[in-house]
Chain A
Amino acid sequence: MNLHYGAFHALHNVNLGIDENEITAFIGPSGCGKSTLLKSLNRMNDLVQTCRITGKITLDGEDIYGNIDVNMLRKRMGMVFQKPNPFPMSIYDNVAYGPRTHGIKKKSELDRIVEESLKNAAIWDEVKDRLKKSALAVSGGQQQRLCIARALAVKPEVLLLDEPTSALDPISTVKIEDLLLELRERYTIVIVTHNMGQAARISDKTAFFLHGEIVESGLTMDIFSNPSDRKTEDYITGRFG
């Protein structure tokens, strides 16, 4: 597929398969189009008026830019942003927001989903005593895991994460990485990261982007140990970017 922002050609002939129950990492220097591709997957790019997409992106064989319900698509594709963005409401309401939006009203059901999601995001123990407190009052790392919990609460199939740990300290980062490895069992995960170590540690597949093109993609192991393209090698060994 190709993507333009106005006259700017942001993604060139991108052709990539993302497999189920795996972690796929997008790496590449700043401005190469990683976030752009990620946002095309759940159509958050629709918010950018100048954005124009040609080609096809399919989920389970269905064209997501075809005749589908965008909100349902976004429900299936949970997204976690670079900067933690909990809503200015209680921790409980944050996690319950998605399920409520999709029509779940019963208190007991919501309680169950909130607890389960927070547990899955490995933050339950830290916040279970202050669910009614503002989500803005917890630390950045906790906010990010809360955002993951919020995304999990709508029962997505895919998790899209845009540099989820770039604003976090090493300990919170490790917690989130462990979490993603656990979640891989049940979800398909796509993660954008500037941290080569992170990509190497947690991902199964890696795609290397440069100037809006995918230079190389494949098994993370292969890409990191034996890159076939010179530019990939330069990038992951830190010689540019």
Chain B
Amino acid sequence: MKEKIAEYFFLICSLISIGAVALICFFIFRGAYPAVQTVGLWPFLTGGLWKPTDIPPLFGIFNMIVGSVYVTAGACLIGVPVGVFTAVYMAKYCPQKIYAGMSQLVSLLAGIPSIIYGFFGMMLIVPFIADNFSGNGNSVLAASIVLGVMVLPTIIKVSEVSLKAVPKTYYEGALALGATKEQSIFFVLIPAAKSGILTGIVLGIGRAIGETMAVVMVAGNANILPETIFKSVRTLTANIVLEMGYASGTHFDAIVATGAVLFVFILLLNLVLGVINKGSKTAGT
């Protein structure tokens, strides 16, 4: 009897989680549908002009899709090497004493609210870019750097755990063949932890592409196709949050549809994760 109650309790909790995902899926796509119907899917995705107040209004989010991809790619360029190598350091080099402190710092990094990251970008990175390069500093580069820092904890934590999960015998086996520590780490340890590290990276990408506040604060948000990394950029998330407050009618629907596109990106990333994890079960084949 007691067991049954426990089982139902767990079942209800699971249903709540599943239900939440299903509801979100349903409402975001239903909300997006009218806009896609009025504007057309192709013009909506590939149109370069977003002029909701023109008559007739124009709703094309191509620049923002590109913008989101740019800043996310930029974040990866910075966050992946720094994150993975930090994880290697923590897993294989770091003395015990420093490790505890570093671990705490990484956790702290994960807990900092995005608006604080935004301030950090506004006060430090944006002025630095403005002073040393072209433009006013609000740019692809600024957003990439801020996001690159934001994805670090995810990449570091997941990579470190998977590096530590690699059997010690692999590492010792490599050393016993006369490989140096670095050779053992790069050609045995990291390949063995590959799927875990990739998982960390994909989770990081998910975080970067969905990040809103910090990006809005440093990206400039002009709806243009940035020609250089010093130009302003508007991401999908920025588009949503900037216009949400006053949009109505088709404009509002188009904003929801922007969210749906973002959601599709996240779904794709999850698909990739699924493939990676499937690959890890048959590791080495």
Taking Cβ atoms with an 8 Å cutoff, the residues of A that contact B are 42, 44, 47, 71-76, 78-79, 81, 83, 85-90, 97-98, 100-102, 133-137, 147, 150-151, 154
Contacts and interface: CB of A to CB of B under 8 A. Distances in A.
B173 A85 contact: yes
B191 interface: yes
Nearest to B173: A85
B174 interface: yes
Given A79-B176, A85-B167, A97 B188 contact: yes
A133 B285 contact: yes
Contacts of A76: 178
Contact of B285 (A81, A137, A147, A151): A137
B99 interface: no
Given A74-B177, A85-B169, 12 more contacts: A44-B176, A73-B178, A83-B169, A85-B173, A86-B173, A88-B283, A89-B284, A98-B179, A100-B187, A101-B187, A135-B284, A154-B178
A97 B187 contact: yes
Interface of B: 167, 169-170, 172-180, 183, 187-188, 191-192, 282-285
A98 B284 contact: no
B224 to A, nearest CB: 47
A19 B218 CA distance: 71
Given A87-B192, A88-B192, A88-B283, A75 B178 contact: yes
A217 B70 CA distance: 70
Contact of A101 (B170, B172, B177): B177
B175 A74 contact: yes
A169 B86 CA distance: 43
Contact of A74 (B170, B178, B187): B178
Contacts of A75: 177-178
Contacts of B285: 133-134, 137
Given A97-B187, A101-B183, A101-B187, A88 B178 contact: no
A117 to B, nearest CB: 12
B177 A151 contact: yes
Q: Is the interface of A mostly helix, strand, loop or mixed?
A: helix
Contact of A154 (B169, B177, B187, B191): B177
A88 B284 contact: yes
Shortest beta-carbon contacts, A-B, top 4? A75-B178, A88-B284, A85-B169, A134-B284
B170 A87 contact: yes
Nearest to A49: B96
A47 B171 CA distance: 11
B283 to A, nearest CB: 5
A47 B172 contact: yes
10 contacts: A44-B176, A79-B176, A81-B172, A85-B172, A87-B192, A89-B191, A97-B177, A101-B179, A101-B180, A151-B177
Nearest to A101: B179
Contacts, number: 81
Contacts of B187: 97, 100-101
Contacts of B167: 85
Nearest to B177: A98
A101 to B, nearest CB: 4
A76 B177 CA distance: 9
B170 A88 contact: yes
Given A87-B192, A101-B187, A137-B285, A72 B178 contact: yes
Contact of A71 (B173, B178, B191, B284): B178
A83 B169 CA distance: 8
> Could you say which of B170, B173, B179 has the most chain A C-beta atoms within 10 Å of its C-beta?
B173
Contacts of A42: 176
A150 B173 CA distance: 10
Nearest to A84: B169
Given A71-B180, A101-B179, A135-B284, A87 B172 contact: no
A81 B169 contact: yes
Contacts of A83: 169
Contact of A90 (B175, B176, B284): B284
A190 B46 CA distance: 70
B177 A150 contact: yes
Contacts of B175: 44, 47, 74
Nearest to A102: B178
Contacts of B192: 87-88
A74 B284 contact: no
A89 B170 CA distance: 11
Contacts of B176: 42, 44, 74, 78-79, 81, 151
A133 to B, nearest CB: 7
> Could you say which of B179, B188, B282 has the most chain A C-beta atoms within 10 Å of its C-beta?
B179
Given A81-B169, A135-B284, A87 B188 contact: yes
Nearest to B282: A134
A135 B192 CA distance: 13
Contacts of A101: 174, 177-180, 183, 187
